[in-house]
Amino acid sequence: MCDHTKNIYKPQLATIEAMIDETPDVRTLRLVFQDEAVRESFSFRAGQFAEYSAFGAGESTFCIASSPTRKGYIECCFRATGRVTEALRRLEVGETIGVRGPYGNSFPIESFFGKNLVFVAGGIALPPLRTVIWNCLDWRDKFGDITIVYGARTEADLVYKHELKEWQERGDVRLVKTVDPGGNSPGWDGKVGFVPTILEEAAPAAENTIGLVCGPPIMIKFTLPVLEKLGFKDDSIYTTLENRMKCGLGKCGRCNVGNVYVCKDGPVFTAAQVKGMPQEF
C-alpha cells in the first residue's frame, strides 16, 4: 500500500442507464456509478460540473444537469460538436463512461429561500438551470413565485420538451417558452420572439427576486439590460460561464478569465462579478 494521495485525474466509472435525444444533436445521458460506495456517497450541488470521458477519445466538460435532490444517478446533456462529444454519442445504453467531479462552485440556493425566482435560458444552456429548477421545485415551499423564460431558435431546438410540458402543467410555475421568429411550426403554443424581448414582455417583478440566466453570450448580452430595466440588481442575478477546460482542477491553465479560474472560482458568478471581469470568455 502506498501512502500517496489519490490520482485526481482518475474518473469513476458509470453506466449509461438511459438516454434521451432532446434535439437531433443534443442528448441526455442518465448515468449510474458502477461502484456501490460511490453511488451512495456521490453528492453535488446545483451548478457544479464534471469531466465526462469517452475512453479513447478523451474528456469533455458539462454541468451536472440533474438535481442534487434526485439520488442514485446523475444526468448530463451535451451537443455532439467535437471528438469527445461525438464519441459519447456513439455509446449505447449499458456502456461505460468515466466521470470526474463534481467540480467548481454552485448556486447558493439556500440564500434564495423566501424569494421569487426568475430563470432565463436559451437553447442548449437550459441544463445548468434545469438542475436548479428541479432542486427548487423539490423544495417548492421554500420559494415564492417561480418564473421560467426559455427559448430556442426553433421548436426542435428546445431541450427537455417533456419537462417543459410538466412545468407548464404545474400550477406553481409560470413557464414562458418562446422560439425565435420563424422558428415556430403550426400549432406552437408558446411565444415567438427572442428571449430578451419575451422576458421584457413577461415582466417578472424584481422585488425580492433572484434572476438566473444561462444562454449563448449574445443572449446574455441582451438579457442583462432587460433585467436591469425590470429593476434587478447585479448581485441578485446569477449566471454561469463556460470556458474550455481540461483538468477542471485549477491547474491546466486554460479556463481563466483574467485571474478567475472558471473551474474553481466558477462556473457560477453573479452579474456583478462578471461585469468586473475582463472580456475573455
Partner 1 sequence: MQQNHTQLADDSYFAAVTNAIRTETTKLLSEGTVAAVIGYQAGTRAGTVIPTIITDAAKAGDLVFSPGCVNNLALYLTKAKKEVRPAGKVAIIAKGCDMRALAGLLGESQLKREELHIIGVACVGVKGAGAGSGEALTTGTIARKCRECTVRAPEGADVVVGAVPPLPEFSPVEAEELARLEAMTPAERWAFWKGHFSRCIRCMACRQVCPFCYCEQCLCDRNRPQALETTPRPAGNMAWHIVRAMHLAGRCAGCTECERACPMDIPLNLLNRKMARELKTLYDFEAGLVPVEKGPLTEYREEDDQSFIK
Partner 2 sequence: MTKTITEQKLRSLMDLLLKEGRRVVAPRQAGSIVLYEPIDSGEQLVLGIMPRRSAKETFFPLCETILTYGKDGNGVMVSDVDAGAFPETILVGAPPCDAAAPAVLDAVFSWDYNDEFFLERRKKTIIIGLACTAADDACFCTAVGLSPRDDKGSDLFLTPVAGGGYLCDAVTKKGKVFLDTYASFLAGGEAKPLPSAEPAATPLDLAGIKDWLESNFESPLWQEFADRCAGCGACAFLCPVCHCFDIVDEGTETKGARRKSWDACGFGKFTNHASGHNPRDIQNKRYRNRIMHKFKYYQDKFGQTLCTGCGRCVRSCPVGIDIRAVLEEIQAKP
Chain residues that interact with partner 2, rule: CB under 8 A: 2-11, 13, 34, 53-60, 81-82, 85, 87, 96, 98, 217, 242-244, 246-247, 249-259, 264, 278, 280-281
The least CB distance from residue 83 to partner 1, in Å, is: 4
Nearer to partner 1, 82 or 181 (CB): 82
Cα R_g (the chain), whole angstroms: 19
Nearer to partner 2, 90 or 140 (CB): 90
Q: Judging by DSSP bridges, how do beta strands 209-214 and 116-122 pair with one another? A: parallel
Nearer to partner 2, 11 or 144 (CB): 11
Distance CA 267, CA 198 (A): 26
Residue ranges in contact with partner 1 by CB under 8 A:
82-83, 86
Q: Degrees (nearest 5) of the Cα angle 156, 51, 259? A: 100
> 118 near 208, Cβ under 8 Å?
no
Nearer to partner 1, 56 or 182 (CB): 56
Residue type, 49: F
The least CB distance from residue 59 to partner 2, in Å, is: 6
The least CB distance from residue 175 to partner 2, in Å, is: 27
Q: Degrees (nearest 5) of the Cα angle 141, 129, 22? A: 115
Binding site partner of 16, from partner 2, partner 1, none, Cβ cut-off 5-8 A by kind: none
Rounded to the nearest angstrom, the gap between the alpha carbon of residue 43 and the centroid of all alpha carbons in its chain is 17
> 215 near 180, Cβ under 8 Å?
no
Nearer to partner 1, 70 or 83 (CB): 83
Distance CA 263, CA 250 (A): 6
The least CB distance from residue 78 to partner 1, in Å, is: 15
Binding site partner of 34, from partner 1, partner 2, none, Cβ cut-off 5-8 A by kind: partner 2
